[in-house]
Amino acid sequence: MTHDGRLSLPESEMAWRFSRSSGAGGQHVNTTDTRVELIWSLDDTSALSPTQKELVRQRLSNRLVDGTITVVSSQYRSQHRNREAARVRLEDLVSGAMVPSKPRRPTRPSRGAKQRRIDAKKRRGSLKQGRSGSWE
C-alpha cells in the first residue's frame, strides 16, 4: 500500500505488450503502438499475502486465466498514458477485490409492501378472469 491508501504493485511483476490501437487518429495511429496490454500474475506476486491472494482469486475468478490478469488500455493516443491507465485500473481492480464484504443484515418486507403486493396480485387476477367467458 502507498501512503494515500492505494495498493501499489511492483513494476517488475508486470509484463507489457503493445499493439496498434483501432479507431480514428489518422496516420499517427497507423504507425505507433499505443494500445497497451498489462499482464500480471497473481500466483507469482510478492505484494500480497497468501490470504489476500486467495481472496483476490475468489473474487476475480472470472478475470483470471491461468493465474494471470490482463488489463487493456487504448483510450489515450500516447503509449505512456495508456500504460499509466492500465496500471491504475489493475491496482484498483485488485484492491477492490481485497475489500471485505459486508455481512448481509436480514430484513423483512413492511406491512405496506405486503399489502401492495397482495393488491397487485388481486388486480392481475381479476384482469385475467375478465378475459375468460364468451364473446357474445
**pLDDT score, position 96:** 86
DSSP result, 60-105: TTTT-BTTEEEEEE-SSSSHHHHHHHHHHHHHHHHHHHHSPPPPPP
Please check whether residue 136 lies inside any domain of the structure: no
50-104 pLDDT, tens digit each? 888 888 888 888 888 888 888 888 888 778 888 899 999 988 888 888 888 889 9
Q: Report the CATH number that the domain containing residue 83 is assigned in CATH.
A: 3.30.160.20
- Residue identified by cell 490478469 is 69
Please check whether residue 32 lies inside any domain of the structure: yes
What residues make up the domain containing 36? 11-98
Please check whether residue 6 lies inside any domain of the structure: no
Number of structural domains the chain divides into: 1
14-38 pLDDT, tens digit each? 778 787 776 666 666 666 677 888 8
pTM, two decimals, is: 0.64
Run of H or E including 40? strand 35-41
Run of H or E including 18? strand 14-19
